Structure formats: structure tokens, C-alpha cells
Chain A
Amino acid sequence: MTMLSWRRLRALCIKETYQILRDPSSGIMAFILPMLLLVIFGYGINLDATSMRLGLCNESTGQPAAAFAAHLTGTPYFEIQAGTRPQLDALLADGTIRGYVLLASDFSRLVQNGPDPAPIQIVTDGTEPNIATFLAAFIHNTWAIWNESQARAQGLALAPGTDIQARYWYNPAAISRHYLIPGSITIIMTVIGAMLTSLVVAREWERGTMEALLSSPVTRAELLLSKLLPYFVLGMISMGIVAASAVFFMNVPFHGSIPALLLVTSLFLLSMLGLGLLISSAMRNQFDSAQTTLNIAFLPAVMLSGAFFVIDSMPAPIRAITYLLPPRYLVSSLQTIFLAGDIWTILLPNTLFLAGTSILFLLLTVRATRRRLDG
């Protein structure tokens, strides 16, 4: 008795391939979805604000207020909308502006005569914390430049400042579009690896074909491999499509090597396939498998992978959870491979963890895969 017959395995893989090719939904997942993701991440997800809608209320009549207002209006970061305080409050409330700058009626007087510094009040829309942070930072910069020019114009000694030069390594223009790569590859591989396979296996249980397979000489290894291999190939093809189009059409740099890319993505895909098979052998029906993979596989891949949200900033228990999740390691590896190169001090631990999770999930799957109908 052999554990593995290539003939049987090949036959099962061919069967699976026909089924993939004949169901339009798997094709959509493997080929259309990657394209859709590229467009979404390429254009839709962008944290680099280029221009922000800012209100300006100048209640002061003097020259300094007018000058600051003019300076603000002149900067390219803002689309300035002037108005009275109630008007701007209303605009802020309905989300038309992200914040406003208020120069109160005593602003010019305070600038000219002191004694206290004149307040430049900034009101931001706290419902979008990220935008509010950026808005405040932009105004801060604008204000600093204005201060300098004011000082120079008045012939005052330059305030002792610093010449801060910010340099972005690996991504000199600091384009957040590089979410493109880790985000889309993680999503694609989760969808194909966990969601599609769990549905497919659950369907075999529902339709009674699993019973026919189990009564044939198929071994457990063949059964598992026949589900792993075709979807592995499908997942890798989709990954290739995403990576290639990102590099060639979206001009994402690729500093690493293709073997490194293949290594981390295939390990990740294996763990997702293991997870999908595990879920479907526990659920045995499509309705429940679908919902479970969505919650166990997909949402963590988006929320806790570090592709979108900063893992470091999460509280310690949640951070601890992310160490158990394969997406974290994939995202970190992909960020490095694409933007920095094959830095093995980062890739090696990630690879080891990915290998560990995939072995873990696959072992659990082997354990959960029954050669019988009951326990």
C-alpha cells in the first residue's frame, strides 16, 4: 500500500481543475478580483492628503490677520473656504470642510501690541482622527513658514530653529499606495486559499460526492493534496497577476528577488489553504463555512495584518494575537521585498513563522480529515 499514488492524485487534480474552469465564480475570484483590487488600492486607498478643505474665518480687521489669511490661502495644501463662524460650524457639521482656522477680532491687535501671543485657533473635525491629525500638522508647517517670513520682514533676529530634513528610505516619495502590494496579495490569497477551498469542500459533503470519494482507494494524503494543489496554483497565478501589474502598470518598485517573493507567498497560501480545509471539514455545509471563513480568515487579514492599521499601536493583547496570524508575517515580508529588497534579517523570522503556521494548520487539517463519515 502506497500512501500516495501519483495517478490518483493527478486524476483528482484534473477533476478539481475542470470544476474550477467550469464555475464562473472561481474565475472571477482568481482573475477579476486581483484587477479590481489593484484599482482600489492604486487609486482608492490613499492616506496622503494632497489638498484639504479648510474653512477660514477672519474676524480681525488689521493687516497681520489679512496677511496670515493670504498666506494660508496661498499654500497649495488647502482649498480655502472663507465664511463666518456659524457658517463654518455648519460646514464642519455636515462634513464639507475638515476644519477651520479662526482669527478672532483681537488677532491683529494682539500681534501688534501683545502682550500675549495672538491665538490662531484651529477647529478640526474629530470624527476623522487621521485627517484631523494631518490637517493640524499642515497648518502647523504653514504657520512656521509664516512666522519665519514675518520675522525676516520685520528685521527681527531669526528665531533659532532647526533645519529638519525628513528622508523616506525605501519609498522616497512616501506614497501610501504601496499598500497596493501587501494589501492586495494578502486579500487575494486569503480569498482563494481559505474561502474558495472551504466552500468547495463543504459542497462535496453537501452533494454526497465526498462519500463516493471516501469509499474509493483514495488516501487521506491524496484527498488533501488534490484540494491543496489546484487552489495553490490558482492562488499563485493570481498573486503573480497582482505583483506583475503592480510593478509594470503602477510603477511599484521591486527591489527584492522573485524566489523570496515566491517563498513567502507560497508559505502563506499553504496556511490559508490549511485553514480553509479545516473550517470546511468542521462545518460540512456551505452556508456556515462561508460565514466562518469570512470572520476567521478574511477580517483578520484586513484588520490585524498591519497592511492598513499599525500593529505597534494596538494594545498588547491584540498585538499578541497578531503574532499568531499568518497575514502579519506576509505583509511585513512583502513590504520589505518590494520596497527594500531581500533583507533576510526580516524575511527569515517571517518565513519561519509562516512555515510554522502553515505546518500547524496543515497538521490540524490532516487530523481533522476523516477517512470515514463519523468520528
Chain B
Amino acid sequence: MQAVAMEHVSKHFSGMTQPALNALSGTICSGIITGIAGPDGAGKTTMLRIMAGLLVPDTGTMTVLGHNPVTDSALLRHRIGYMPQKFGLYEDLSVLENLTLHADLRDVRGMARDKRFAELLSFTALAPFTSRLAGKLSGGMKQKLGLACALLGTPELLLLDEPGVGVDPISRRELWKMVQDLAGQGIAVVWSTSYLDEAEACHSVLLLSQGSLLFAGPPHDLTQRLAGRSQHVRGVTGRLRQSLTVMLRQPEVCDGTIQGRNLRIILKDATIRPDLAVLDSAGSPSWATVTPRFEDAFIDLLGGGPGGESALAQAMPMRTAQNKPLIVAENLTKMFGTFAATDNVSFAVRQGEIFGLLGPNGAGKSTTFKMMCGLLQPSSGKAEVLGIDLRRSPAQARQHLGYMAQKFSLYGKLTVRQNLHFFSGAYGLFGSRQRQAVDNMIHAFHLDPVLGSRTDDLSLGYKQRIALACATMHEPDILFLDEPTSGVDPITRREFWNHINAMVEKGVTIMVTTHFMDEAEYCDRIGLVYQGRLIALAPPDDLKSQTATQEIPDPTMEDAFIELIYQQAHI
């Protein structure tokens, strides 16, 4: 059954050069999950808001559950559940108070309410936390609560705006299962995302780019077009990152990533493969055709990946080699009251290494991260960077590090250029060196078209790029990246990793957290954090082989992650 029908829907915001939605047509059906996918700024949120009756389209008609969302908004609100990007929770109310508020707003009462609460609380596993303030929940829990609130009135149409952002794989899997159940009950679910693995799992997808519809239909229809073009390069020895860079330089290659021990390469033409001799690998690399993914098709549709070069790293000097580990945590512990957010964590990171910190939401990654950067005082133990405790060090030591926070933390009221000028100035650059550094960043991150815009008005992809630019402008030796690619589309993510990989080649040391398991593959070593403790510390391949079983002989990083957490949870 058709839940939403759009015909030539357009929306233009004043002050923007491009329309947010450009004559968009499409349908959304009940009983299935419809993905709205696309890069940042594609118009996903605008589309959801129009469906929710929060925005009025300039032209075109939108029919939601047989009604016009503008004129019949009062009627529709009872039948639509909507979870905005920031979840829309009151942080100073408890879980139960948030639920009660939404229940009352949607006229869920009496026995029905008790039953619904019980269902939703067990469904979201929030039952033990009903009295906790929403502001004190982890990202994954907030999201489940947001979903529970949106589900209270048993809506016929459920609109979820990027529910997967900033959520760990386990929570995402759980969330997905929940939403699938709902679709099974006949609800029309709309799931907007810039993660293509999520989109691939949807029954149907509307793929947007810059306000226009690129594709509509089951994801499989799109991936089919790629048949034969998705390839693995197997048997590569030595550093995979370098090999990938080499492959991406080949004119025959459209896109590439690291996948376990293999390189995943998308060819421009299924029949033309580059010569593997360019890899100069000691082993004997070979081609193997694999099943195309939706992400491959998406990148192909948008004209291929960003290549493998990093103008950012090219401009950077080579760091002198150092033998001592640059980042050291020894028995690091942070107590909040009686709760150990970080519990006796030790690790050391060598120069030129990418060290990934992984773990579910609320496991203590950010706490550990903040102690390493000197933003939090450890309760006990040692956190040293370049042999210095940043809490006690002179500020000059911080000159050597760059930091990109989880939440966008540049000045939203300032323009891109003003932000770049400020952060370069804050790091002591001035005169021609400052101009040079700013120009390099504009060039490396393609910031020319947005230089005069306020960063608040930009899409997330731009924001994250500018944040990375601001963190690297002073050529730091050590880079702390806290979920740098959260919510960012795959092309921008590839660009990010190009930069990261290339910087590491220049001897920069990187500590990163991420929820993307494919990104974890890029790390040299991974520290897995769970309930404040470091439960594993090894290269990604070792973690995967540790968890190999008879059923899953070649687990993906995500499988390994879930298995390791599962083992811990059941000890």
C-alpha cells in the first residue's frame, strides 16, 4: 500500500544557491523500510520534514497517508511518528518522563499505555534505566529512546532522520531489527541515511543527490548494474594502505577500499583490469570477482571515488623517525563517582601508526580520548603524549597535536575563512606562513565555493572537512580524531581516509575512534573498549582470526567486534 506519494516536490531556502529539493517524485509504501540515501546536503532532512508537515514545499504535491501534510497536518500528526536528527529528547527529563510526555501528547493512556511502555522498554532494552536523565544516556540509548518516543502512538508512518549516526554496530543492528519488526507490522518506515550499508538493507531506496533523485527502487536493481566490476585483489603482502594508493592511481580503477586482507576495487569497465605488477608486492596478488555492494553502485553513480591522493599530506613535511612510543596510557582510570568510565587502560602508540579505539556507545572511548588530550584529569594512572602529561605541560606541547571532536566544534557563526584564519592564528601561524597554510587547506579540501559561508549553514560533510582542516593546519605530529566520519557520506569518508593514510606515511601518528568497521580495517592496531576496560588490543586481522569459528571462517571486522563484545558480556 502506498503511504506517501510525491510529485515534483521542490523546496528552495532563501540564501541558498541550489534548491534543497528539485522537482522530486517518488512513492513510499507501507510494510517495508524505505531508505532515503544520499550524500550530505542531498535534501534528505528537507524531504522528511516536508512529509512530517514541518516544512511547506514551494511547488509540487505531497500526499501522506492520503492527506496533504500542510492542510491536514493536525489529522496526520496522530498517524506519523518522527524522530529528528538530534532525537528531540529533553535532556533534563528522565527516560520515563520523556516517554510519559510523548505518550500524553499522542493520547496513549490507561492500560494501553502501560502495555505499550512495557513493550517499548523491553524492545529498546531501556527498562533498567527508566529513572536516568536522558542527558546522561549514551548515544545508542538516546537513539533508542528517541525511537521509542516516536513509536508511542503506533504510527502508520515512521520517519527516522539519520538514526544510525554515531551509533555502534551492535546498537545499529538492534535498531535495525526493531525497525524491521515494525515494518513487518505494516508500518511504512522511512529511514534516511548517508550510510550505504544501511540503505542496502532497505527494501526500497530513494537515492538523492543535490536535491535530485538519482535512483528509486530496490537496492538490488542498482547493484546489478555493477556486475563484474567489483573485484578483490587478494594475496597482497606488505602494507595494504600503500598498495591501495597505488591501485587508486590506475586509470582503470573507479574506487577502492581495504577489506580485511584484500583490496576491494571497483573497475570502470568489468573487462579492463590494471596490471597487478604495479603493486610491486612480494606475494602473488590475484583478481577475484565479488558481489557488488550498494555503496559501490552509489559511488559509481556519483562518478567514482575521490582517488587516492591527499593534497593535504603532500604539503606536509616528513617527520623525523622516533623510536619511543608517542602516546602512552598506563593504568589509566577515570572514576565518575563510583562508576569507572575508564578502568585501568594501558596502551602505547608508535610513531606513524593509526591506532583505533573501538567500542560500543558508552564504553568509555571518549573519556579515554579526552584524558589523552588533556581535557580530563585521570583519577589515576598516566596519560602521556610525546612523553609529556598534557594536563601539566606547558601549552606549547599542544602545538604538536591536532584534535577533532566528536561533535562539530568550530564557530558556527563565523565563515569558513574566518574559522581557518582563527585556528591557524591560535596555533601561532602568521604572515605568509598563515596565508600559505590556509591556502593549502582550501585547496586540499576544495573549500573554494564555501569560503564566505557561515559554517552553521553548511552540510555535515563540509563541516567535518573544515574541522579536519582546522585540526591539521599547523602540521601536528599527533592527530586525535574522535568519530571524524560520523554521519558523513562514503565519498567524503574515503577522502578523509586518503588524508589520514597519507599523513601516516609522512610519519604522523593518529589515534582515532570510529563506529565504522570498514574504517577500522585501515588501523594498524585496534584497542577494543567495553565497559571502561580494554578487552582486546591487536591488529585488525588478528582480532578477526581470534574470532573465526566454524560457522564464520572469515569474519568481517563487524562480526569480530560483535563476537568479542558478546564474549565479554557473557563472562
Query: Do A219 and B74 touch (CB < 8 A)?
Result: yes
| Residues 359-375 (chain A) with a chain B CB within 8 angstroms | 371-374
How far is B107's CA from A7's CA once the two chains are assembled, in angstroms? 7
Beyond A212-B84, A216-B105, A217-B107, whether A18 also contacts B55 by CB under 8 A is no
- Is residue A208 within 8 Å, beta carbon to beta carbon, of the partner chain? yes
Chain B hits for A1, CB < 8 A: 74-75
Query: Do A211 and B73 touch (CB < 8 A)?
Result: no
How far is B557's CA from A4's CA once the two chains are assembled, in angstroms? 53
> Per a CB cutoff under 8 Å, which of B84, B101, B153 touches A15?
B101
| Residues 63-115 (chain B) with a chain A CB within 8 angstroms | 73-75, 77-78, 80, 82-93, 97, 100-107, 109
Query: Do A8 and B107 touch (CB < 8 A)?
Result: yes
Query: Do B77 and A208 touch (CB < 8 A)?
Result: no
Binary contact track A207-234/B, C-beta < 8 Å → 1, others 0: 1110111111111000000000000000
- Is residue A116 within 8 Å, beta carbon to beta carbon, of the partner chain? no
Most buried by B among A207, A208, A214: A214
> Per a CB cutoff under 8 Å, which of B53, B75, B86, B101 touches A207?
B86
Chain A hits for B84, CB < 8 A: 208, 211-212, 215
- Is residue A312 within 8 Å, beta carbon to beta carbon, of the partner chain? no
How far is B88's CA from A15's CA once the two chains are assembled, in angstroms? 14
Closest-by-CB residue of B relative to A374 is B55
Chain A hits for B54, CB < 8 A: 211, 214-215, 372-373
How far is B135's CA from A23's CA once the two chains are assembled, in angstroms? 14
Query: Do B73 and A371 touch (CB < 8 A)?
Result: yes
Chain B hits for A11, CB < 8 A: 100-101, 103-105
- Is residue A269 within 8 Å, beta carbon to beta carbon, of the partner chain? no
- Is residue A141 within 8 Å, beta carbon to beta carbon, of the partner chain? no
Chain B hits for A215, CB < 8 A: 52-54, 77, 80, 82, 84, 88, 159
How far is B86's CA from A209's CA once the two chains are assembled, in angstroms? 8
| Residues 30-73 (chain B) with a chain A CB within 8 angstroms | 49, 52-56, 73
Min CB gap B369→A, angstroms: 24
Min CB gap B367→A, angstroms: 23
- Chain A binding surface SS class: helix
Chain A hits for B92, CB < 8 A: 18-19, 22-23
Query: Do B106 and A217 touch (CB < 8 A)?
Result: yes
- Is residue B149 within 8 Å, beta carbon to beta carbon, of the partner chain? yes
Chain A hits for B89, CB < 8 A: 209, 212
Query: Do B104 and A212 touch (CB < 8 A)?
Result: no
How far is B85's CA from A129's CA once the two chains are assembled, in angstroms? 60
How far is B93's CA from A12's CA once the two chains are assembled, in angstroms? 12
- Is residue A140 within 8 Å, beta carbon to beta carbon, of the partner chain? no
- Is residue A295 within 8 Å, beta carbon to beta carbon, of the partner chain? no
Closest-by-CB residue of A relative to B11 is A374
Chain B hits for A371, CB < 8 A: 53, 73
Chain A hits for B86, CB < 8 A: 207-208, 211
Query: Do B88 and A212 touch (CB < 8 A)?
Result: yes
Chain A hits for B91, CB < 8 A: 207
Query: Do B77 and A15 touch (CB < 8 A)?
Result: no
Chain A hits for B87, CB < 8 A: 208, 212
> Per a CB cutoff under 8 Å, which of B56, B101, B103 touches A12?
B101
Chain B hits for A8, CB < 8 A: 104-105, 107
| Residues 22-80 (chain A) with a chain B CB within 8 angstroms | 22-23
Chain A hits for B107, CB < 8 A: 5, 7-8, 217
A-B contact pairs, 12 of them (CB 8 A): A7-B109, A18-B97, A19-B93, A208-B84, A212-B88, A212-B149, A213-B105, A215-B77, A217-B74, A218-B77, A371-B53, A372-B56
7 nearest CB pairs, A to B:
A212-B88, A11-B104, A208-B86, A215-B82, A217-B77, A211-B84, A216-B105
Q: Which residues of B contact A (CB under 8 A)?
A: 13, 49, 52-56, 73-75, 77-78, 80, 82-93, 97, 100-107, 109, 149, 153, 159
Given contacts A23-B92, A215-B52, 14 further A-B contacts (CB under 8 A): A8-B104, A8-B107, A19-B92, A209-B88, A212-B82, A212-B87, A215-B53, A215-B77, A215-B82, A215-B159, A217-B153, A218-B77, A218-B105, A372-B54
